[in-house]
Amino acid sequence: MSKRNYHDLSINERAIFNQRLFKICIYTAMIIIGIILIFPYFYMVMKSLMSSEEVVGPVKLFPNKLMLSNYVDLFTSNNKYLKAALNSLYIILFNIIAVPLSASIIAFSFAKLKWKGKNLMFALMMSTMMIPPTVTQIPLYIMYTNMGWIDTLLPFTIPNLFGGGAFNIFLIRQFMKGIPKNIEDAARIDGASTFRIYWNIILPLCKPVLIYIMVTIFIVNWGDFYGPLIYMSSSDAPRTLAYVVFLDSTESTAASQMAHMRMAGGVFMTIIPGILFMLFQKQLIEGVTMTGSKG
Amino acid sequence: MKVKKFRKFIRENYEGWLFNLPLMIGLLVFTFIPVFSSLYYSFLDTDGFTQSFVGLGNYIRIFTSDRDIGKVVVNTLTYTIISIVLNLVLSYLLALLVNQKIKGVKTFRVIYYLPCIIPLVASGLLWKDIYDPTYGIFNKILTSLGMPTSSFFQEASSSMFSLILMNLWTLGSGMILWLAAFKNIPKQMYESASIEGANRFQRFIYITIPMSTPMIFFNVVTSIINTLQYNGTLTFAPRDGRGVDDSLYMYAVKIYWEAFERGKLGYGSALAWVLLIIVAIITFILFRTSKWVFYGEEY
């Protein structure tokens, strides 16, 4: 069969042809953009798998041999990364319990209880969302210095016993407002105390929003380098993983020794957020859009 | 009688107060006392141990004699304006691309969003490596494509451009917001517009844009507030986040530098208060001029 020109096709065939062409264009564009966006990360992973000689040699993309042992070395050669990762996990574990509990207690008082001063407190709380953290960092630094909290993990845990920020409380309050009132009324008639209503009825129903908050707490605390830079920067202070990677980044250049270990540290930092994202993709994206489009 | 009334008042309210107590303590200790002591510190010359009252001295210094400020403000504004506009436009185009109903499109959305969950320190480490003029892979790629190489962060003239280019890596977060906005637009609107003969471009101008304005507005407000406080350069820019010839020196890093590197806590507080006031003014203006935001009929 001889080749047919575009002009020889029937209208119907042309439509199908155009649609196919359109699809091919779309896929091509998506793949090219995807490659561009993935490439830096791919390069990081590759570099983390190179040997110490390769990494200081001429620029290349693929290692001769995949040195998976780099990741073992990361945690065994010295305990810098391991200790830091444990500190990070300690902070996160504390906050992942403290923030949902305290924030939900506060949110409960806003969503489900009647009391004098509620509207005032709510307005005060919401107004704090406008205050840039840059304003409070200096007085907090002075306060923590006076309390002896500098170079300890306390600035990263204790303040989170009080709700962990207006935004978390607001999110839970919005969610609780959506829980029908007759559920708690029924419990009240049965003689349940207010705390029981909060603990046994309302809190379990808030699971979706609490999971969202826990995941964001993990991601935010895991990546926080600025807090440790201010409050835990002396050399004998406990280190968090983000701060160790921060020091790796600032105290080095691309050509210097141990670039493969630095990259392995960086890649390791991305693994847990990556897994969390894959597991809670739906909640996270819904959360972003919930906070983004309905504000 | 009065005692009885008082008792009743307490009985009716104490549960609410009790449940709200953590917030009351937290706001007082970790927000309001710091905010007002910050204002107080801004009138002092203090390193945290010794202090002397200088009145408006710190503020006068910001506006008259601080040599860094001009450059810091220009850098901050350049970065804020360009990155927000570029992000809004390009993430829109990206969202449009992955808003098609074709196979595998969800996977691409995830891939585009992935760079956004990489912690700032890890991406700083990575880009510092990629952008290295002699040992980085970016210049190697440019050379192999026959294009001129760049000094990236190692030269003042290319620093800001490199930073903005680097930030395009996280376009995915804007894309997610746009996709959510698209989702909220009723399909019938497009259908009836098509029937009445509106083409793709007209549907974009008269439906997509107006219906997305609440999202655009919210996004612009929060990005302005966040970008004015951007301190990410600390992780990768030369000279401890200030860049060559202060080419990447921005406001939040300036506050950090004055307060925690030079130990000028009073001056840092004054800088922070100027930022607070600027943020408040910008937010106020944005809300006052937000008549173009379309909240739909039902609101």
pLDDT in tens, A121-154: 999 999 888 888 889 999 999 999 999 999 999 9
Chain A CB contacts of B94 under 8 Å are 33
Residue B44 maps to a domain: no
Q: Return the pLDDT at A243.
A: 93
CB contact under 8 A, A124 and B37: no
Nearest-angstrom CA–CA distance, A122 and A164: 15
Are B32 and B65 in the same domain?
A: no
Chain A CB contacts of B12 under 8 Å are 114-115
Does ipTM exceed 0.95? Answer: no
pLDDT band at residue B286 using 50, 70 and 90 as cut-offs: confident
Are B79 and B150 in the same domain?
A: yes
Distance between B65 CA and the closest CA of chain A, angstroms: 22
Is the confidence at residue B31, as pLDDT, over 50? yes
Are B26 and B135 in the same domain?
A: no
Residue B46 maps to a domain: no
Per DSSP, helices labelled H in B61-136 are 69-97, 105-113, 120-130
Nearest CA in chain A to B271: A135
- What is the token pair recorded at A67? 């040195």
Please write the tens of the pLDDT for every residue from B70-124. Answer: 999 999 999 999 999 999 899 989 998 898 888 888 889 989 998 988 999 999 9
Residue B54 maps to a domain: no
| Average model confidence (pLDDT) across chain B | 88
SS3 B222: helix
Are B34 and B161 in the same domain?
A: no
Q: Return the pLDDT at B295.
A: 67
Nearest-angstrom CA–CA distance, B216 and B182: 12
State residue A2 phi and psi, 5-degree precision. -75, 155
Are B258 and B160 in the same domain?
A: yes
Is the confidence at residue A11, as pLDDT, over 80? no
When divided into structural domains, chain B yields a total of: 2
Residue B47 maps to a domain: no
Range of the domain at B23: 1-39
Q: Return the pLDDT at B296.
A: 59
Listed residue (A158, A164, A156) closest to A106, CA to CA:
A164
Instruction: Give how far the C-alpha of residue A197 lies from the chain's centroid of Cα atoms, to the nearest Å.
Output: 31
Cα B187–Cα B189–Cα B195 angle in degrees, nearest 5? 105
**For residue B97, with 0-12 CB atoms within 10 Å meaning exposed, 13-18 middle and 19 or more buried, which class applies?**
middle
Please write the tens of the pLDDT for every residue from B123-176. Answer: 999 999 899 888 888 999 999 998 888 889 988 889 999 999 999 999 998 898
Nearest-angstrom CA–CA distance, A193 and A54: 67
Are B171 and B266 in the same domain?
A: yes
Residue B45 maps to a domain: no
Please write the tens of the pLDDT for every residue from A69-97. Answer: 888 888 887 788 889 999 999 999 999 99
pLDDT band at residue A183 using 50, 70 and 90 as cut-offs: confident
Strands B44-46, B51-53: pairing is antiparallel
Residue B53 maps to a domain: no
Report the percentage of chain B scoring pLDDT > 90.
45
Segment 149-168 of chain B within 8 Å of chain A by CB: none
Are B255 and B133 in the same domain?
A: yes
Q: Return the pLDDT at B298.
A: 43
Q: What is the mean pLDDT of residues A276-295?
A: 68
Nearest-angstrom CA–CA distance, B225 and A295: 15
Please write the tens of the pLDDT for every residue from B211-259. Answer: 888 878 888 888 888 899 999 999 888 888 899 889 999 999 999 999 9
Are B255 and B151 in the same domain?
A: yes
Are B29 and B68 in the same domain?
A: no
Chain A CB contacts of B120 under 8 Å are 223, 225
Are B229 and B149 in the same domain?
A: yes
CB contact under 8 A, B137 and A59: yes
Give the type of residue at B35. Answer: V
Nearest-angstrom CA–CA distance, B259 and B257: 6
- What is the token pair recorded at A237? 């202070």
State residue B186 phi and psi, 5-degree precision. -60, 135
- What is the token pair recorded at B158? 């290319």
Instruction: Give how far the C-alpha of residue B200 lies from the chain's centroid of Cα atoms, to the nearest Å.
Output: 32
Q: Return the pLDDT at B17.
A: 93
Is the confidence at residue B3, as pLDDT, over 80? yes
Distance between A1 CA and the closest CA of chain B, angstroms: 32
Q: What is the mean pLDDT of residues A202-226?
A: 91
Residue B279 maps to a domain: yes
Q: Which of A130, A162, A248 sits opposite B22 (nearest CB)?
A: A162
Give B257 or A7, the one with higher predicted confidence.
Answer: B257
Residue B297 maps to a domain: no
Is the confidence at residue A286, as pLDDT, over 80? no
CB contact under 8 A, A138 and B234: no
Cβ atoms of B242 and B253 closer than 8 Å: yes
pLDDT band at residue A294 using 50, 70 and 90 as cut-offs: very low
Cβ atoms of A90 and A153 closer than 8 Å: yes
Q: Return the pLDDT at B81.
A: 94
Are B67 and B14 in the same domain?
A: no
- What is the token pair recorded at B290? 């937000």
Length of chain B: 299
CATH number of B276's domain: 1.10.3720.10
Are B34 and B152 in the same domain?
A: no
Is the confidence at residue B261, as pLDDT, over 60? yes
Cα B129–Cα B130–Cα B133 angle in degrees, nearest 5? 85
Q: Return the pLDDT at A291.
A: 57
For A37-58, give the DSSP string. Answer: HHHHHHHHHHHHTS-HHHHHSS
